[in-house]
């Protein structure tokens, strides 16, 4: 007997209720006078610094993707890559997880008539893989420091160490398979769609054919390992810049600690798992509140940190959405000119 699934509207209602409770919790435990005193330290210069960090993250991410595009033979210049990635980031940011969702937008904005969607998607998928696993070293450092900081028991440390070790092994396994096996993606796809083959064989064949083309494009893109390793180094550098951004904000809040910066950065793993609302609204703030409480940094500092970080991120989102709107307007004008 199948268990009843919770519908999306119910999940949203639950998230809104939890968000309201989180707001009440902030009000309950926050010192209004302390909040006002600390918030006055968030000057326009601080906002510009956070904006600079966010822009640097986007530029490094664009350079990382540009290396893959050049290797794939479909480079259209860094400017086009930057704005396509920026618009994709904006759509991704508005999803509950803030990890996936804007890839089709990035592909549509970047593609021209001489490119195939499969090849563009192959570069985006590889870029996303590198982006996610590039965060792994800093996340592992953060979780390790958290275990040392909270002075937990050996069973918990052993379990956490096992999870960390498993993550590293998974990354190494996938990397080796991508480089040494051209059929890995197709074989994996076959196992996934095997249960659906009996239901709709024609659709399963179409999916498998698309996966073969995708696997071929990925294999061609990563044929030079040096490019892959350079892109991975850039991805790790992006994570380091995020940690430094956190350290800068903690310095502004009067609690500078590089170890705490790694721990707070590692909380992105939890944030992506608990969000239901667009932009992970509530999920990010609740996670920061929990982590700041563990680190004895204070709920007031947690709220201010989340607000300032949101301001910087939303600035990039607005730029990406403006570019997306402008692209749609220009495309509509070109279609109208062709008809005339």
Is position 54 within any domain?
Answer: yes
pLDDT in tens, 225-257: 778 888 889 999 999 999 999 999 999 988 889
CB burial class (10 A; 0-12, 13-18, 19+) of residue 173? exposed
Q: What is residue 285's predicted lDDT score, i.e. its pLDDT?
A: 80
Q: What is residue 31's predicted lDDT score, i.e. its pLDDT?
A: 57
- Tell if the pTM clears 0.75, that is, is over it: yes
Q: What is residue 197's predicted lDDT score, i.e. its pLDDT?
A: 66
**Range(s) of the domain holding residue 244:** 13-23+44-150+235-339
Q: What is residue 2's predicted lDDT score, i.e. its pLDDT?
A: 45
C-alpha count within 13 angstroms, C-beta hemisphere, residue 255: 19
Q: What is residue 318's predicted lDDT score, i.e. its pLDDT?
A: 92
What is the pLDDT averaged over residues 122-147?
86
C-alpha count within 13 angstroms, C-beta hemisphere, residue 95: 14
**Of the candidate ranges 10-24, 156-170, 312-326, the one whose mean pLDDT is the lowest:** 10-24
What is the pLDDT averaged over residues 162-171?
72
Is position 39 within any domain?
Answer: no
Is position 76 within any domain?
Answer: yes
What is the pLDDT averaged over residues 102-113?
88
CA distance 338 to 227: 40
- The rounded mean pLDDT for the chain is 79
Q: What is residue 245's predicted lDDT score, i.e. its pLDDT?
A: 96
pLDDT in tens, 37-91: 666 777 889 999 999 999 999 999 999 999 989 888 888 888 999 999 999 999 9
Is position 196 within any domain?
Answer: no
Is position 290 within any domain?
Answer: yes
Contacts of residue 63, Cβ cutoff 8 Å, sequence gap at least 6: 78, 234
Is position 1 within any domain?
Answer: no
pLDDT in tens, 277-327: 677 777 788 788 888 888 888 878 888 898 899 889 999 999 999 998 888
Q: How many folded domains does the chain comprise?
A: 1
- Take residue 115 and report the two structure tokens written for it: 């490119």
Band of the pLDDT at 1, cuts 50, 70, 90? Answer: very low
**Of the candidate ranges 90-104, 144-158, 183-197, the one whose mean pLDDT is the lowest:** 183-197
Q: What is residue 16's predicted lDDT score, i.e. its pLDDT?
A: 59
CA distance 260 to 102: 31
Q: How many CB atoms neighbour CB 142 within 10 A? A: 26
Is position 28 within any domain?
Answer: no
Is position 331 within any domain?
Answer: yes
Tokens 């499969």, located at residue: 118
């Amino acid at each position: 007997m199948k268990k009843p699934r919770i519908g999306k509207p119910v999940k949203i209602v639950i998230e809104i209720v939890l968000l309201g409770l989180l707001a009440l919790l902030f009000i309950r435990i926050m010192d209004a006078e302390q909040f006002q005193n600390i918030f006055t330290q968030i000057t326009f210069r601080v906002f510009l610094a956070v904006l600079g960090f966010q822009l640097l993250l986007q530029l490094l991410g664009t350079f990382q993707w540009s290396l893959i595009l050049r290797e794939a033979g479909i480079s259209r210049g860094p400017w086009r890559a930057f704005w396509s990635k920026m618009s994709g980031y904006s759509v991704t940011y508005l999803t509950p997880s803030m990890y996936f969702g804007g890839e089709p937008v990035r592909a549509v904005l970047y593609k021209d008539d001489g490119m195939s969607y499969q090849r563009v998607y192959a570069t985006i998928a590889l870029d996303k893989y590198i982006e996610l696993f590039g965060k792994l070293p800093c996340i592992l450092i953060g979780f390790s420091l958290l275990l040392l900081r909270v002075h937990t028991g050996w069973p918990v440390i052993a379990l956490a160490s096992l999870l960390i070790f498993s993550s590293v092994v998974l990354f190494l396994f996938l990397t080796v398979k991508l480089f040494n096996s051209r059929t890995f993606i197709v074989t994996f796809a076959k196992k996934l769609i095997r249960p659906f083959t009996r239901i709709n064989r024609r659709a399963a064949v179409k999916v498998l054919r698309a996966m073969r083309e995708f696997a071929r494009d990925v294999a061609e893109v990563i044929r030079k390992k040096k490019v892959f390793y350079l892109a991975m180094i850039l991805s790790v550098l992006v994570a380091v810049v995020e940690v430094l951004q956190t350290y800068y904000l903690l310095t502004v809040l009067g609690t500078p600690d590089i170890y705490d910066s790694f721990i707070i950065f590692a909380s992105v793993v939890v944030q992506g798992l608990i969000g239901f609302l667009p932009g992970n609204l509530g999920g990010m703030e609740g996670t920061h509140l929990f982590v700041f409480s563990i680190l004895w940094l204070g709920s007031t500092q947690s709220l201010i940190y989340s607000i300032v970080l949101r301001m910087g991120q939303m600035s990039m989102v607005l730029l990406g959405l403006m570019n997306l709107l402008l692209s749609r307007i220009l495309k509509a004008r070109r279609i109208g000119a062709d008809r005339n």
